[in-house]
Amino acid sequence: MGHGYKGDTGHHHSITENLPSLKSDYKYQDGYFGEPGHGRFFVREISSEDPLKTAREFYDKAAHGGIEKEMSNGKGVYTKMKDGSILSFREVTSSEGSPAVEINIKQSNDHGDIKYQKIHFVGGK
């Protein structure tokens, strides 16, 4: 971990390079993935029968070609993309207790139409 690019790609990816594979596998509308969640507008939900597996798959696709590191608090991992986007993955969140992926585009210079969001992966469909 921390050596090379996530997924053993030959170059550092921007989040927009990974967007087509995400859009083909997950609901995407107006810059957001999944369905509106509880609370703030940027909180989203993706339902699946295996939320942890789905969260890992989503994160791996979104972070493909980025530089991944462990969080300093030991509660997950994050990946910095070429464009400055930062994606984080935690198996358990303090707010919902579910796995979550956060897409932080605040320092990005090439995030396309993706908006800042925190996606919780929940049981269901």
Is residue 94 pLDDT above 90, yes or no?
no
Residue range 8-22: mean pLDDT, rounded: 92
Exposure string for 26-44, b = 16+ CB within 10 A, e = fewer: beeeeebbbeebeeeebbb
**Bigger pLDDT: 8 vs 6:** 6
Q: Where are the domains of the chain?
A: 15-123
Please say if the pLDDT value at position 96 is more than 80. no
Q: At CA 41, angle to CA 13 and CA 98, rounded to 5? A: 70
Most confident among 6-15, 34-43, 56-65 (mean pLDDT)? 56-65
Residue 2 pLDDT greater than 50, yes or no? no
The predicted pLDDT at position 10 comes to 84
Q: How far is CA 36 from CA 1, 28, 40, 44, 120, in A?
A: 32, 11, 9, 5, 10
pTM: 0.92
* Token pair for 12: 């550092």
What is the predicted pLDDT for the residue at 34? 97
Report residue 32 CA to chain centroid gap.
Answer: 11
- Mean pLDDT taken over the chain: 92
